[in-house]
A and B are shown apart, each in its own frame.
Chain A
Amino acid sequence: MTTTIRLQREAFDVAAEVAALTRGRTDIGAVVTFTGICRADEDGAPIAALTLEHYPRMAEAEIARHIEEARARWPLLGMTVVHRYGRLVPGEPIVLVVTASSHRQAAFTAAEFLMDFLKTRAPFWKQVETFAGTSWVEAKAADDVAADRWSAPPRREVR
């Protein structure tokens, strides 16, 4: 099992992360990637930039706990999470999740699981910069609902 967790200011290269996760492996049959990108609007209003604040040591620990939980739930062969912090302008990538498994279903499901938890449990906060000033993004109830659905018993039959 290869796992990588990185918090960084700079952009990431999705293809390079996938290559790093799969290099030399012939047991991996499926790789799923999710990339979150900074949009030019928040709640319908145009934005100039997003600034991500984080709690450094806890962010890594919390992501590691969810990677561990995903590993216990699904037959995964590798996971990579890269989350940026600092100031990002629309169009820039914010977060990357890569999951690898022998068959696609576990990779798809685990990628969704990790993203739902990054949204609601990883200690990051987005501040929006508009032409009028700055404000903090409010947590969305829909994200809590998405994370809560994973509290059902682990679905071990998923492959």
Chain B
Amino acid sequence: MKLIYFAWVRERVGKTEEEIDPPAEVATVGDLMTWLAGRGEEYAYAFENAKVIRAAIDRHHVRADAAIAGAAEIAFFPPMTGG
């Protein structure tokens, strides 16, 4: 699946997007953030306070307990500040 990052999550991870293939036990968005946080210090920094990070699956807002099975594109970003 494809991951996309925005704003300070993007800056901390150090990339805009990437393809990943997480292990089967990574079932939810929350699991995915925990798994990502273990991939290196830049990810640990980006996801150190996972509670504040928002996620979208295939361009729909989801919560941390959302299942990631079947997702093509998962985005992680800070709370939005548009308008």
Contact = CB atoms under 8 A, between A and B. Distances in A.
Contacts of B75: 55, 58, 123
A22 interface: no
Contacts, number: 73
A58 B83 contact: no
B83 A36 contact: yes
Contacts of A126: 81-82
A67 interface: no
- Main SS class of interface, A: mixed
B81 to A, nearest CB: 5
Interface stretch (B2-10, B23-31, B38-46, B63-71): B2-10
Interface residues of B, number: 16
Interface stretch (A70-78, A99-107, A133-141): A133-141
Interface residues of A, number: 30
A121 B7 contact: no
A119 B83 CA distance: 5
Contacts of B6: 53, 55, 123, 125
B13 interface: no
A139 B81 contact: yes
Contact of B77 (A55, A61, A127): A55
Contacts of A53: 6-7
Interface string A55-74: 10111011000000000000
A56 to B, nearest CB: 10
A120 interface: yes
A98 B56 CA distance: 27
Given A53-B6, A58-B56, A121-B61, A136 B82 contact: no
B80 interface: yes
Nearest to B59: A58
B59 A125 contact: no
Contact of B82 (A57, A61, A124): A124
Nearest to B8: A136
Given A119-B81, A122-B80, A136-B81, 5 more contacts: A55-B6, A57-B59, A122-B82, A124-B80, A138-B81
